[in-house]
Amino acid sequence: SAHLLSRYRPRAPIIAVTRCGQTARQAHLYRGIYPVLYTKPANDVWAEDVDLRVNFALEMGKHRHFFKSGDVIIVVTGWRPGPGYTNTMRVVLVP
């Protein structure tokens, strides 16, 4: 998903959260993607796991000064694990 988004060359950075080291390394080859390796164990409930990773991305984005509290960001996720299921865009206010 992050690779496809980078084709449109957005002015905003793309933070790609992944558990796979190889995916994180490959993401460095695409324009505007900042991969973040998420090492915590997977949650059994998919929706909760996605929310944990989104919160982790928010923390990393604030730490790297991509955005600050009060900014509005777009979160792109899938409804189930695996490639081809990305179908959700959420507008999130950074806490």
Residue 76 within any structural domain of the chain: no
Residue 78 within any structural domain of the chain: no
pLDDT in the model for residue 79: 74
Residues 6+ apart with CB under 8 A from 49: 42, 43
pLDDT tens-place string over residues 38-82: 999 999 999 999 999 999 999 999 999 999 999 999 999 987 777
Residue from 66, 50, 47 nearest 18 by CA = 50
Residue 92 within any structural domain of the chain: no
Residue 75 within any structural domain of the chain: no
Residue 45 within any structural domain of the chain: yes
pLDDT in the model for residue 85: 79
pLDDT in the model for residue 19: 94
pLDDT in the model for residue 82: 74
Work out how many domains the chain is built from and give that number.
1
pLDDT tens-place string over residues 10-44: 999 999 999 999 999 999 999 999 999 999 999 99
The domain of 21 spans: 2-69
pLDDT in the model for residue 20: 94
Distance of CA 30 to the CA centre of its chain: 14
Residues 6+ apart with CB under 8 A from 34: 13, 14, 15, 16, 64, 66
CATH number of the domain bearing residue 15: 3.40.1380.20
Residue 77 within any structural domain of the chain: no
